[in-house]
């Protein structure tokens, strides 16, 4: 079936560097995507979203890029901080807008 | 705090017992979702409500799982005759009626079946 997945299970970066977390999705009919951050023992926390009619969206220190041609999504975190250490999930919403499908997550580790 | 609230945060139960979890969504949100998350995996969709109507329940893991939202506000998820494989984090999320708006998650209920 259709699924959302991530390329790298663990990403280690130096504090202050930029981080890029990648995600591949397979449902070409999905039209809405969200990045979530999940810290240990907590629920997923919304970071940023993007609709399929956009290629790029920026938030505070975060940017999401969407490449519909290759069905690829990325999350860029500028000036990564220790508080950014967490597991990051991309999720897609089906075109009926009824549920989110998550991938397996990427763990981001920030080295001081 | 007006976010999504889940109770209890942790539940330890013996195999074969029934458990019930509660979720209070963000007050103006009429959509409510239940997800299950096992260690190292992304959340897995179980069911969702729009107001009091349960519009999707085919993803519930077995007939031991059931959910209700009787007044369109809080929701409960019940697992009957729990099994060790039911041990997981159970997450609730809510969103507004708009099709493409973010879903906000609660902190989850961690279930351990011993």
CB atoms within 10 A of CB B25: 27
Nearest to A49 by CA among A64, A37, A62: A64
Residue A3 has pLDDT above 50, yes or no: no
Nearest to A57 by CA among A44, A74, A71: A74
Residue B67 has pLDDT above 90, yes or no: yes
Residue B1 is predicted with a pLDDT of 52
Q: How far is A19 from chain B (nearest CA, A)?
A: 20
- Stretch B83-99: mean pLDDT: 89
SS3 category, B15: coil
Residue B12 is predicted with a pLDDT of 98
d(CA B18, CA B108): 18
A97–B99: do the CB atoms touch at under 8 Å? yes
Residue A5 is predicted with a pLDDT of 47
Chain A positions touching B30 (Cβ under 8 A) are none
Closest chain B residue by Cα to residue A9: B40
Nearest to B80 by CA among B61, B64, B66: B64
Closest chain B residue by Cα to residue A51: B100
Q: How far is A42 from chain B (nearest CA, A)?
A: 5
Residue B98 is predicted with a pLDDT of 64
Residue A6 is predicted with a pLDDT of 43
Chain A positions touching B48 (Cβ under 8 A) are 98-99
Residue A2 has pLDDT above 60, yes or no: no
Closest chain B residue by Cα to residue A44: B105
Residue B34 is predicted with a pLDDT of 96
DSSP-assigned letters across all residues of B68-98:
E-TTSS-EEEEE-S--GGG-EEEEEEEE-SS
Span B16-51, pLDDT tens digits? 999 999 999 999 899 999 999 998 889 999 999 999
Among A42, A93, A105, beta carbon nearest to B100 = A93
Residue B46 is predicted with a pLDDT of 94
More confident residue, A88 or A94: A88
Residue A63 is predicted with a pLDDT of 98
Peptide bond between residue B45 and the one before it cis (omega within 30 degrees of 0): no
B100–A41: do the CB atoms touch at under 8 Å? no
Segment 58-87 of chain A within 8 Å of chain B by CB: none
A44–B91: do the CB atoms touch at under 8 Å? yes
- Stretch B62-79: mean pLDDT: 94
Residue B10 has pLDDT above 50, yes or no: yes
């Amino acid at each position: 079936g259709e699924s959302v997945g991530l390329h790298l299970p663990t990403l280690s970066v130096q504090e202050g560097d930029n981080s890029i977390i990648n995600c591949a999705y397979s449902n070409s009919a999905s039209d809405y995507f969200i990045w979530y951050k999940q810290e240990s023992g907590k629920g997923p926390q919304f970071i940023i979203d993007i609709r399929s009619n956009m290629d790029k969206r920026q938030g505070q220190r975060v940017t999401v890029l969407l490449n519909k041609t290759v069905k690829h999504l990325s999350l860029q975190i500028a000036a990564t901080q220790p508080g950014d250490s967490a597991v990051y999930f991309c999720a897609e919403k089906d075109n009926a807008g009824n549920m989110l499908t998550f991938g397996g997550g990427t763990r981001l580790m920030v080295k001081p | 705090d007006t976010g999504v609230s889940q109770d209890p945060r942790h539940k330890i139960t013996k195999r074969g017992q029934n458990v019930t979890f509660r979720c209070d969504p963000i007050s103006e949100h009429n959509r409510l979702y239940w997800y299950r998350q096992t260690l190292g995996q992304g959340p897995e969709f179980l069911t969702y409500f729009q107001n009091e109507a349960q519009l999707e329940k085919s993803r519930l893991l077995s007939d031991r799982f059931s959910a209700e939202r009787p007044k369109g506000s809080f929701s409960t998820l019940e697992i009957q005759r729990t099994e060790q494989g039911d041990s997981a984090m159970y997450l609730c999320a809510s969103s507004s009626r708009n099709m493409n708006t973010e879903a906000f998650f609660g902190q989850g209920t961690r279930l351990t079946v011993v």
